[in-house]
């Protein structure tokens, strides 16, 4: 049985090649900060995660969502120096230590699990994740003995002509016994051109102590690709989105064109939902089953039930759409909306903080803000809910089976009760009682002349 695993994530660097005021590891990939991709993966296999912060430390700590411990590297003096900041935790840990980098967001949980198992099965003191590259220029080369054990890592600038031909390269990711790591940290020095403490130098100590040093070679080089600039960032984005879309498709979601469909990592989608091209689904959105989501939709932090028809070119944010609704095209559903079963929200309708009950209709060309609309109610084309008086927002409450005539203006605060009606072009400034029709500007009760 494997011992508990302590993971140290290095997130202290400046990342100057990103050319950004934002810390490199806080740049998002598929809607989630790079550092959170790494920590969330590590958290699934670790008993504890320590994050080493330095540059913009407060910003990094504020954006990390998992329950981790932090250690500060106040001066960035190399990767070995970064790990030194977690010395107390490492000394108190009687098992393996996994070392990861916050700018390698593509590493997979299974890869780390398999590496850890390999390390344990082989009774290794140190296991380094490696891969083979056709062009290994710029990477540290893995030098092995006749027993396929690692004897050293040679950086590009120090490599001989023969060593530069080696294709197996160091990823930087390693699993090491905590006792071996403490001894190696004690032996590290900064006697080099950069005056830095290199983590790769732990190989020398473990080797000198007759420890077993192995490589865990992976086939997918993308997993260990570091993100150092915006080009790397775009490549990482593409890879993770491909993974996300593939997982949804394997779970029964139809994505017509995965190359033009952008889904964040935390999105949930039910089986038999069909997603058309140029759709963006972001944040913590949850979509049920048997929905049709047509092209050019942008859906953010929204809950969508089952059997809905989301037509093309809508923006839907921080709202709830229940079941069997028809939305759009070209609707704008702003935060705070609750749309009940069977509702129709038509083309060029904007709604904000609106509670719309079962089978109500707002078919086209309307603004609905700070409102409650009852079941079976119909809101005519061109209707405006005038919710703002210049200083405060006010609410409009509309009952069940109400008919709002085209081009009506409803001046809040206002209550139009069950089965009320407004004539076309009415400006309604006072409450409307049940079964009452109002017309005109300002709207007054319409009393039919039965005598003709």
Active-site amino acid positions = 364
The residues with which 326 forms a beta bridge, in sequence order, are 309, 344
Distance CA 449, CA 452 (A): 6
- Which DSSP category does 435 fall into? T
Distance CA 138, CA 154 (A): 11
Distance CA 445, CA 437 (A): 6
Contact 292, 275 (CB under 8 A): no
Q: Which of 324, 272, 334, 266 is nearest to 298 (CA)?
A: 334
The region, left, alpha or beta by phi > 0 then psi within -120 to 50, assigned to residue 370 is left
Distance CA 278, CA 280 (A): 7
**73 alpha-carbon distance from chain centroid:** 27
Write the CA distances from 133 to 121, 139, 369, integer angstroms: 26, 10, 58
- Exposed/middle/buried for 32, CB within 10 Å: 0-12, 13-18, 19+? middle
Q: Per this entry, what is the length of the chain?
A: 452
- Exposed/middle/buried for 16, CB within 10 Å: 0-12, 13-18, 19+? exposed
Distance CA 382, CA 347 (A): 11
**Strands, E, within 73-218: which ranges?**
96-101, 126-132, 141-144, 150-154, 168-177, 213-218
The residues with which 254 forms a beta bridge, in sequence order, are 274
Distance CA 324, CA 410 (A): 28
The residues with which 362 forms a beta bridge, in sequence order, are 345
Distance CA 22, CA 214 (A): 37
């Amino acid at each position: 049985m494997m011992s508990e695993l302590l993971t140290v994530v290095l997130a202290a660097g400046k990342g100057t090649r990103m050319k950004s005021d934002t810390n490199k590891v806080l740049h998002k990939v598929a809607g989630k900060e790079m550092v959170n991709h790494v920590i969330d993966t590590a958290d699934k296999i670790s008993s504890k995660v320590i994050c080493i912060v330095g540059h913009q430390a407060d910003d990094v700590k504020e954006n990390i969502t998992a329950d981790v411990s932090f250690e500060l590297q106040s001066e960035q003096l190399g990767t070995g120096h970064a790990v030194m900041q977690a010395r107390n935790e490492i000394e108190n840990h009687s098992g393996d230590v996994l070392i990861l980098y916050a700018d390698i967001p593509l590493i997979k949980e299974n890869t780390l699990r398999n590496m850890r198992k390999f390390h344990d099965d082989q009774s290794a003191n140190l296991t380094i994740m490696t891969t083979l590259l056709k062009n290994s220029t710029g990477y540290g080369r893995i030098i092995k003995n006749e027993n396929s054990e690692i004897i050293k890592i040679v950086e590009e600038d120090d490599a001989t002509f023969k060593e530069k031909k080696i294709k197996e390269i160091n990823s930087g990711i390693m699993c090491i016994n905590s006792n071996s790591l403490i001894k190696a940290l004690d032996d590290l020095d900064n006697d080099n051109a950069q005056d830095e403490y290199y983590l790769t130098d732990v190989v020398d100590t473990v080797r000198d102590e007759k420890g077993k040093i192995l490589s865990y070679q992976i086939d997918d080089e993308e997993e260990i690709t570091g993100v150092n600039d915006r080009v790397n960032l775009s490549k990482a984005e593409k890879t993770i989105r491909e993974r996300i879309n593939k997982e949804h498709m394997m779970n029964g979601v139809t994505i017509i064109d995965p190359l033009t469909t952008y889904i964040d990592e935390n999105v949930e989608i039910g089986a038999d939902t069909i997603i058309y091209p140029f759709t963006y689904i972001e944040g913590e959105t949850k979509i049920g089953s048997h929905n049709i989501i047509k092209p050019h939709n942008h859906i953010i932090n929204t809950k969508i039930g089952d059997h809905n028809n989301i037509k093309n070119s809508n923006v839907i944010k921080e709202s709830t759409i229940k079941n069997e609704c028809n939305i759009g095209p070209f609707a704008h559903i702003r935060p705070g909306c609750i749309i009940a079963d069977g509702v129709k929200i038509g083309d060029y309708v904007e709604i904000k903080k609106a509670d719309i009950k079962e089978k109500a209709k707002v078919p086209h060309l309307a603004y609905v803000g700070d409102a409650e609309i009852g079941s079976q109610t119909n809101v005519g084309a061109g209707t405006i809910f005038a919710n703002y008086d210049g200083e405060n927002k006010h609410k409009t409450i509309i009952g069940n089976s109400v008919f709002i005539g085209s081009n009506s203006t409803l001046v809040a605060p206002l209550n139009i009760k069950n089965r009320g009606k407004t004539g076309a072009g009415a400006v309604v400034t006072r409450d409307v009682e049940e079964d009452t029709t109002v017309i005109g500007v300002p709207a007054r009760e319409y009393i039919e002349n039965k005598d003709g």
